[in-house]
Amino acid sequence: MADGRKECPTSPQAANAQLFGVLSSLLQQVESLTNQEEVELRSKIYALGLEVTKVPSKSTQNLDEMEIAKQLDKLSEKLDDVDRMISSAVAADPQVGSLLCSTANLWMPVITAGSEERRNLNASVEDDLEVKGKNSQ
């Protein structure tokens, strides 16, 4: 692209690999700059990898409208929490907003993947995270 941003990956696996490659690189840069191993940040990246590949279980029962509404309310609460965290981070440091905007092409395909895409991503992320975890030990 002419504006300096990278093209969006063509597959969910590519999007996931690209996102976690960038996160891993940023983590290494932070550790290099601070001369400290960022155990907490590493564990959060690992948890994020698990979360984005989480596949909803197949329901053995048909949910009624009330149960679906309850589940949607829970998801809305989680999204509101994420929105508050992002908003406070952007308010505290304008560079956070700039970073989010400039890297949206990496993380948006990962967080917007559907169930089938998450099933396909699940194995690849677990493999990647195990390899990176062993390499860092």
- Tell me the pLDDT tens digit for each residue of 84-134: 888 888 888 888 888 888 888 877 777 777 767 766 666 555 565 565 556
2/20: higher pLDDT? 20
CA distance 115 to 121: 10
CA distances 5 to 12, 28, 48, 104, Å, are 18, 22, 23, 10
> Quick one: DSSP state of residue 42?
H
CA distance 42 to 72: 30
Largest CA distance in the chain: 54
Chain mean pLDDT for the chain: 75
Residue 25 has pLDDT above 60, yes or no: yes
What percentage of residues in the chain have a pLDDT greater than 70?
71
pLDDT tens sequence across 80-90: 888 888 888 88
Query: Structure pTM?
Result: 0.48
What percentage of residues in the chain have a pLDDT greater than 90?
0
Q: SS3 of 9, please? A: coil
